Amino acid sequence: EDVVAEIKRQALRLAERLASEQGFRGIVVFGRDGRELFRLDDREGIDGKLREVMKTGLESGALTGNGSFLSRYAPVREQGEVVGAARLTLSLAPEYARLSRSIHLFMAYFILDFLLLLGFGSYLLSRCIVLPIRKLLASTGRIADGDLSCRVPVPGNAEIAELAESFNTMVDSLRRKRDEVETHIRSLERINRELQTARAETVRS
């Protein structure tokens, strides 16, 4: 009887501490003979796990209610001898709720990071590829109108810079060819004037 009373006192003190916990769902203590010694909010009877703990004296645990509850089994000892077993049941609902909040927070951070990376990537794409290509297209339009003085700056990545450099080289080559053609034209015009002058002199003679 003294052992039973001590078990009840210890179980009561433990229950008072655990009852304030959000996930607490009950505690029950059975004696070695299967007699119920203490119960608080636990509606289940003695089960195989309790009998196993009484027999082996080893603690164990199990998930119940499709994973909604965690039951912890522990032996009750008196002077080193197992005189009973206790089952403490905790609800995992608060942990699932905390996990759900963590997942939602993680998803929010993931979406925010994705949007930031998307915006930064769009900015880099526009600055390093789209803008140089637009300048290149604008320069080709000026060249088509006969303006060979334009040059394309060489920003961006290696491929864009190489393309711009090739374009500038082509423009320089076209400008040199145009200057050569204009020089030939001026030379032909000078020769033509000289021929006309010589012809006029010949006619006068």
> How far, in Å, CA of 185 to CA of 182, rounded?
5
Question: Other C-beta atoms within 10 Å of 76: how many?
Answer: 24
- For residues 86 and 27, the answer to whether their CB atoms sit within 8 Å is yes
Report pLDDT for 104: 94
Contacts 24+ apart (CB under 8 A), 127-135: 127/156, 128/155, 128/156, 128/157, 128/160, 129/156, 129/157, 129/160, 131/155, 131/156, 132/156, 132/160, 132/164, 133/160
Q: Which residue, among 62, 18, 57, 15, has the nearest Cα to 37 in the 3D structure?
A: 15
What is the enclosing helix (H) or strand (E) of 78? strand 69-78
Please write the tens of the pLDDT for every residue from 134-185: 777 777 777 777 777 777 666 656 777 777 778 778 888 888 888 888 889 9
pTM above 0.75, yes or no: no
| pLDDT given at position 113 | 93
Question: Residues 86-120: pLDDT tens digits?
Answer: 888 888 888 888 889 999 999 999 999 999 999 88
Question: Which H helix or E strand runs over 88?
Answer: strand 81-91
- Cβ–Cβ < 8 Å for 107, 94: no
pLDDT for position 157: 65
Mean predicted lDDT score pLDDT of the chain: 82
Q: What is the number of other CB atoms lying within 10 angstroms of the CB of residue 78?
A: 13
